[in-house]
Structure 1
Amino acid sequence: MNRDEIVQAMIAHSRSLFERNYTYSTGGNLSHRFGDGMLISATNTSFGRLLPGDFVACDLDGQPLPGEARRPSKEAIFHAAIYRVRPEVGAVLHLHSLAAIALSCLAAPTDTGNVLPAVTSGSVTRVGRVPLIEYIPPGAQRLAERIAEVCRSVNAILLENHGVITYAPTLDQAVDIAEELEQNVKVWLMTGGQARILTDDELAGLKPLFGATVTPGTQRPALRDGVSLGGGLRW
C-alpha cells in the first residue's frame, strides 16, 4: 500500500475504536510499517479526529524523517522497537481501553506469565499469552527497552496503569487482537473474577484445531497482594 492508502486505513480503524470507547481524549496511538520505517499518529491527536495530515513518517529509531511537518507520538520509540524486534509485524496499536487499564491496575506484573483470563477460546487462538510490564512513564526510553524485551513471543502487552499494546502482520489483525482481549477482560471483571474460565484440558483441545499455544495453569490473572474484585464492575 502507498502512504495515502495506509493513512486512510488507520483513520478508519482509529475512528471506529474511538466511537466504541477503546480510547479517550488524545490517549493512544497507532502505526504502520512504511518502507524502511513506519507511519505513526502525531503527538496530541485524538483517534476520533485524525486527519490525513496527522501522521508522521519515522525511521526505526522513532525519529521523524526529513520534511515531516508534525512531531510523532512520544511513544514512537516503543513502536519502532517492536518493528525492529519483530520483522513480520506490519502494524502496532496502543489503546487506553477501560477494561485493559483496569486489569493492569489489579494484576501482578509478570514477564513470563499471563494476565489474560481465558473466558473464550479466542483468548488463546487470537490473543495468546499476555504479559504485564510494571509501570514506567509514557515515552520513556526504559519503556521501549522493556517492551523490546518481552514482545518476541507474544501478540499483546499490558502496561501497568497505562493501557495495552497489540501488534500483528496487518492492522486488521492488531485491531482484532485488541477487541478479543478487551472482551475477555471485561467479562472477567464484570463478574468479579467469577466467570467460568476454560480449563487446561479445554485449552489444550484448541491446539490441534488452531495451532494455539497453551500454557497450563495460566488461565486466571494473579492479582496484586490485597486486591479483591468484590462483586464486579459496572460498564
Structure 2
Amino acid sequence: MEIKSELLYYAKLVKERGLVVGPGGNISVRWQKVMYVTPSGLAFDELSEEDLVGVAIESGEIIEGQRRPTSEVLMHLFCYRLREDVGAVVHTHPPFVISAISSGVILRPMFPDFVVYLGHQVPNIGYVTPTTAELAEAVQGAIGKHNAVTMVNHGALTVGTNLKEAYYRTEVLEEGAKIQLWGQLVGNPRFIDEKESQQILNLGSEKYRQELLRAMRA
C-alpha cells in the first residue's frame, strides 16, 4: 500500500535527521476511517510495512497488524477525531526544541518559514507524564487551532493534511529552536512580530507555497 510506504519513508527521514533516538517518537497517517501508526518498541529505521498497525479512528480498535501500536496512540487518535483536515501526525523528540522549552525559552519566529508553517505562536504544554490520557487531552486542547505543539521535557507534535506537511512542520520547528538559541547565545535576537507575521501570511507567494505543500506527496 502506497500510504504505508510513505509512512516508512518519513519515519526513516525523522531518524536520519536526528529528531528521535532509539525507539522514541511515533508517526501516523489517516487512510479513510483508519490510521496507520508506528508500533511500540521499534526504532524508525528498523520498520517494515508489516510492523505498522491499523487502528480504527472512531473506536480505537486495532484492525490490522500483529504488533502493539505506539503507547502514545491516544494522542494521535484525539488529533484525527478533533480535526477532519488532519491527515498525518508526527511526534518527535527534537533536541533543540526540548532544550529550549525545558529551559523556559518561548519559541518565537525569526524567519518567514516559521510563520508560514507554524503560525506566529506555537502552544507549549507544561510537563505531563508521557503515554497518559492526560497528555493526549492536553495536546487535543492545544492542537485545535494550531498545527504544532511543544511539550516540556518531552518533545513536539505536528500535524498536516499529509505526511510531507506534518514532517516539514517538525523540521521547521527544530530549525526555529536552533536559530533562536544560537541568536540568544551571541546577541539580542530580533523576532518577527504579529503584524509582520500577518503580512507574510498575506503574501500571494506564501499562500501558493502552502497549497503546493498540501498537494505534494513524497
Instruction: Judging by fraction of residues, say which structure has more helix.
Output: 2
Within the alignment, does 1:106 sit opposite 2:98 as a pair? no
1:12 alignment counterpart: 9
What per-residue deviation string (whole Å, max 9, x for no partner) do you get for residues 100-130 of structure 1? 111220237xxxxxx3321101111111121
CA distance in 2, matches of 1:170, 1:125: 16
* Candidates 146, 158, 164, aligned match of 2:150: 158
1:34 alignment counterpart: 31
CA distance in 2, matches of 1:66, 1:58: 6
* Candidates 123, 145, 154, aligned match of 1:131: 123
Which letter maps to 2:68? R
CA distance in 1, matches of 2:167, 2:81: 20
* Stretch of structure 1 that moved more, 175-184 or 57-66: 57-66
Any conservation in 2 of the 1:61–1:81 contact (CA below 8 Å)?
no
Alignment of 1:112-123 (within 5 A): 115-123=106-114
CA distance in 2, matches of 1:107, 1:126: 23
Any conservation in 1 of the 2:51–2:65 contact (CA below 8 Å)?
no
Which letter maps to 1:134? G
1:202–1:9 Cα change, 3 Å: same
Which letter maps to 1:206? I
Which letter maps to 1:54? D
Any conservation in 1 of the 2:57–2:77 contact (CA below 8 Å)?
yes
1:145–1:210 Cα change, 3 Å: farther
TM (norm. structure 2) is 0.86
1:206 alignment counterpart: 200
Within the alignment, does 1:57 sit opposite 2:54 as a pair? yes
TM (norm. structure 1) is 0.80
Which letter maps to 1:158? T
Any conservation in 1 of the 2:115–2:201 contact (CA below 8 Å)?
no
Any conservation in 1 of the 2:89–2:157 contact (CA below 8 Å)?
yes
CA distance in 2, matches of 1:8, 1:207: 33
Q: What's the % identity of the aligned pairs?
A: 28
Any conservation in 1 of the 2:35–2:55 contact (CA below 8 Å)?
yes
Structure 1 gap segments, 5+ residues each:
109-114, 213-235
1:145–1:61 Cα change, 3 Å: farther
CA distance in 2, matches of 1:192, 1:206: 24
* Stretch of structure 1 that moved more, 58-67 or 72-81: 58-67
Any conservation in 1 of the 2:56–2:63 contact (CA below 8 Å)?
no
1:171–1:35 Cα change, 3 Å: same
* Candidates 89, 92, 97, aligned match of 2:94: 97
What per-residue deviation string (whole Å, max 9, x for no partner) do you get for residues 169-228 of structure 1? 11000011111111111011123363332244432421321598xxxxxxxxxxxxxxxx
Alignment RMSD, CA only?
Answer: 1.9
Any conservation in 2 of the 1:132–1:157 contact (CA below 8 Å)?
yes
Aligned length: 203
Any conservation in 1 of the 2:114–2:172 contact (CA below 8 Å)?
yes
CA distance in 2, matches of 1:39, 1:70: 12
Deviation at 1:97, TM superposition (A): 0.9
What per-residue deviation string (whole Å, max 9, x for no partner) do you get for residues 51-72 of structure 1? 1122100122673424531100
Which letter maps to 2:130? P
